[in-house]
Structure 1
Amino acid sequence: MYPNLLMKRASLTPDRVALRFNEQEWTFARLAEEAIEFAEKLHTKGMEKGMRIAILASSNPKLIVVMHACMQLGCELVLLNERLSEEELNYQLADSAPDYLVVDDYNKRSLSFSNKYSFDEIENVGRSFFEVEKDWTKERTITIMYTSGTTGRPKGVRQSLENHVMNATGSALNLGVHPNDCWLCTMPLFHISGFSILMRSVYYGMTINLHTKFDAEAAIKEILSGTVTRMSAVAVMLERMLTVLESKGLSFPNTFQSVIVGGGPVPLNYLERAIERNIPVLQTYGMTETASQTTTLASEDALRKLGSAGKPLFFADVRIDGNEEIGEICIKGPHVTKGYVGAAESTNPLVDGWLHTGDMGYMDEEGYLFVVDRRSDLIISGGENIYPAEVEQALVKHPAVKEAGVTGKLDDKWGRVPVAFVVLKGETSEEELRTFMKKQLAPYKQPVDYYFVDQLPRNGSNKLLRRELFNYIKNT
């Protein structure tokens, strides 16, 4: 058994600030009070312990209250990505089969679901008493989140209380917990990167400074003010902050401890630029199935192991499967999901206790993990393995290249060959890029075609969707 996280935190540090949003503040006591009040209103609407509630909303303080309210009521949360199309959302609703759907605004979507309520509709009903549980079972499903679907149909992942607590514990043992900790949350709360910050907040007694969405200028302003100590991001967000800082000749203050960067390999060029701007970047590796982090680079290793995703957190184990130096990353630990819902429910995510991730990487002689790429994105050209991330990292070294995406296209001679999609921040030409790349990579890794685009396709968590690049080539 674990304690009811929010109620325990509110009793320990009731006056500590839990949440800041714009000019408003919520203490843990206030957050608990508002969560119970909303939970009683959900109860009036017929929602009870053990039910499954889908939530579709933007990141804001009300969403945090609603999430906590559902947890207090003893319900499972199906967190829907508001950036998805109606077709994608309808699939996830049908697959997860929630008892109710709660939305912040009807005007966003015209989803056909019988038991559907808006936040305002629930807010306007009376309160109905229910018994708040003091203790929660560790096996209890807290959240159901769908995988990003970068390789096909997304799967609904069950994340238990134990998954969340053990992940937060492992992170705390790696990063440390300090009385003045404040996490800047610009990641969407429906994503594991955002929700894990919410869980750490009640577990650590840590303040969250919440932004509805990521804005490089706003994030930098907040960090420069000294109010936040940490931040979660993906590589593209880091690059956008670097570009702003470089244009203004600014660096981060020493009050800022680290930006935790996940969602895929971070180009070395970004890491080197971050050092110049006094940004401690800790690359991390995790996934929806592991309730966020599995490995994270320790602060003292940030420079010595540049490019590494670090060592496994205290309760996690990582191994590399395969006969070659680079193989599939496999994970074991109490933070790993025990299963899925819906169409994937019969699929056991574990093989002999290990989660086979589909990601490729290697571990050096000291046990540090280096993530190379998705196995499904691997380009096999004439029998040689080409990792798109390696080609992308080489491309962004060019001063005129802001972002790059690489995929493979079919080729009669070699099987598949790499093709590059490039977003520019300065002037260059295809000929200049070809000349530059010849100095960076072996001939068989050179892109055969270049497409100059305004932006790259990304999902709700800003991960690059290489399959859309592949589909574009296939359809042209």
Structure 2
Amino acid sequence: MYPNLLMKRASLTPDRVALRFNEQEWSFANLAEEAIDFAEKLHTKGIKKGMRLAILASSNPKLVVVLHGCMQLGCELVMLNERLSEEELNYQLADSAPNYLLVDDHTKRNLAFSDKYSFDEIENAERSFLDLEKEWPKERTITIMYTSGTTGRPKGVRQSLENHVMNATGSALNLGIHPNDCWLCTMPLFHISGFSILMRSVYYGMAINLHTKFDAEAAIQEIISGTVTRMSAVAVTLERMLTVLESKNLSFPNTFQSVLVGGGPVPLNYLERALERNIPVLQTYGMTETASQTTTLASEDAIRKLGSAGKPLFFADVRIDGDEKVGEICIKGPHVTKGYVGAAETINPLVDGWLHTGDIGYLDEEGYLFVVDRRSDLIISGGENIYPAEVEQALVKHPAVKEAGVAGRQDEKWGQVPVAFVVLKGEASEEALRTFMKEQLANYKQPVDYYFVDQLPRNGSNKLMRRELFNCIKNT
């Protein structure tokens, strides 16, 4: 059993700041009071402990209260990604089969689900007494999040209380906890990167500065003001901040401790540019099935192991499956999911206790993990393995290239050949890029075609959808 996280935190540090949004501020006591209020109103509406609630909303303080209120009632939360299409959302609703759908606005989507309430409808209900649980079973499902769907249909992943708590514990043992810590949360709360910040907040007694969406200028302003000490990002959002800082010749202050960057390998070019702007980048590796981080680079290794996703967190273990040095990354630990819901419920995610991730990587001689690519994105050309991420990293070294995506195309002679999709931030011709790339990579890794596009296809977590790259051609 674990303590009721929010109530325990509110009793320990009631006056400490829990949440900031624009000019507003909530202490942990304020947050607990509003969460209990919402939970009691849910109770009035007939929502009971153990029910499954799907939630579709934008990241704002009301959503934070709703999430904590639902947890106080003992409900399972299906976190819906508001960036998805109606077809995708309807699939997840049908697959997860929630008892009710909670939305911040009825007019937002036309979803095929009848049993739903808006946040306002709950708020306008009367309160009815709720006997709060002081302890929660560690195996209790807190959240259900759907995988990003980079390959096939997304699966609904169960994330237990133990998964969340042990992940937060491992992160704390790696990064440390400081009295003035404040996490800038620009990641959506429906995603594990955002939700895990909420869990760390009540576990650590840490403040969150919440943004509804990522804005490079706003994020930089908060960091330079000295208010926040850490943030989470993905490679594309890191690059956007770097571009703004470089255009204004600004650097981050020493009060800022680190930005954790996940969601896929980070180009070395981005990491080197970050060092020039005093941005401590800690590359991290994790997934929906591991309730966020599994490995994270320690601060003291940020420069020495540039490009690595670090060592496993204290309670995690990582091994490489395969005969070669580079193989599939496998994970074990108390932060790993025990299963799925819906169509994937019969699938056991573990093989002899290990989660096979589908990602390719290697461990160096000191045990540091380097993530190479997704196994499903591997291009095999003339019997040679080509990792799209390696080609993309070479492309973004060119000063005129902002982003790059690489995918394989069928070829009669070679089986597959790499094709590049490039977003420019300056002037560059295809000939110039071909000349540049010949200096970077072997001949067999050279893209056979280049397409210049306005943007790359990304999912709701800002991960590059390589299988959608060829649709960029059709849409131009």
Normalising by structure 2, report the TM-score. 0.99
Within 5 Å, give how 1:378-389 maps onto structure 2: 378-389=378-389
For 1:123 and 1:138, the matched residues in 2 are separated by 30
2:454 pairs with 1:448: no
Match of 1:27 in 2: 27
* Alignment-mate amino acid for residue 192 of structure 2: I
The separation in 2 between residues aligned to 1:325 and 1:454, in whole angstroms, is 37
Hey, what does 1:150 align to over in structure 2? Answer: 150
CA change 1:409–1:205 in 2 (3 A) is same
1:462 corresponds to: 462
Match of 1:39 in 2: 39
Contact 2:405–2:464 (Cα < 8 Å) also in 1: yes
Distance in 1 of aligned mates of 2:111 and 2:91: 11
The residue aligned with 1:214 is 214
Counterpart-to-counterpart distance in 2, 1:325 and 1:440: 23
Query: Which residue of the partner structure matches residue 291 of structure 1?
Result: 291
- Residues 272-302 of structure 1 show CA distances to partners (whole Å, capped at 9, x for unaligned) of 0000000000000000000000000000000
Matches of 1:473 and 1:94, distance apart in 2: 33
8 Å contact from structure 2 (residues 81, 190) kept in 1:
yes
Aligned to 2:252: 252
8 Å contact from structure 2 (residues 185, 231) kept in 1: yes
Identity of aligned residues (%): 89
Partner of 2:182: 182
Within 2, Cα distance between the matches of 1:238 and 1:33? 36
Moved more, 309-318 or 38-47: 38-47
Show structure 2 runs of 5+ residues with no match: none
1:115 corresponds to: 115
Q: CA deviation at 1:112?
A: 2.2
Are the counterparts in 2 of residues 183 and 207 from structure 1 also a CA contact under 8 Å?
A: yes
Is the 1:408–1:470 contact (alpha carbons within 8 Å) kept by the matching residues of 2? no
User: Matches of 1:169 and 1:345 in 2, distance apart?
Assistant: 28
Aligned partners of 1:409 and 1:474 also within 8 Å: no
Aligned counterparts of 1:232 and 1:33: Cα–Cα separation in 2: 28
Equivalent residue number for residue 331 of structure 1: 331
Q: Give yes or no for contact 1:60–1:211 (8 Å, CA) kept in 2.
A: yes
Q: Which stretches of structure 1, 4 residues or longer, exceed 6 Å deviation after superposition?
A: 473-476
Q: Offset of 1:474 from its aligned partner?
A: 9.0
Task: Give the secondary structure class of the aligned counterpart of 1:106.
Answer: coil
What is residue 124 of structure 1 aligned with on the other side?
Answer: 124
Checking the alignment, whether the CA contact within 8 Å between 1:409 and 1:470 is kept in structure 2 is no
Amino acid at match of 2:405: G
Matched, 1:81 2:81: yes
Q: 111-120 or 438-447, which moves further after superposition?
A: 111-120
**1:297-329 deviation digits (Å, cap 9, x = unpaired):** 000000000000000000000000001111000
Task: Give the 5 Å matches for 1:319-468.
Answer: 319-468=319-468
Pairwise CA distance, 1:214:
0.2
Secondary structure of the structure 2 residue equivalent to 1:209 = strand
Matches of 2:385 and 2:146, distance apart in 1: 30
Letter in 1 for 2:229: T
- Match in the other structure for 1:196: 196
CA–CA distance in 2 between the matches of 1:47 and 1:202? 24
8 Å contact from structure 2 (residues 453, 472) kept in 1: no
Task: Tell me the SS of whatever aligns to 1:188.
Answer: coil
The SS at the match of 2:323 is coil
Q: TM-score normalized by structure 1?
A: 0.99
Q: CA RMSD in A?
A: 1.0
Tell me the matched-pair count: 476
Instruction: Look up the SS of the partner of 1:31 in the other structure.
Output: helix
CA–CA separation in structure 2 for the residues paired with 1:457 and 1:191: 18
1:226 is aligned to 2:226: yes
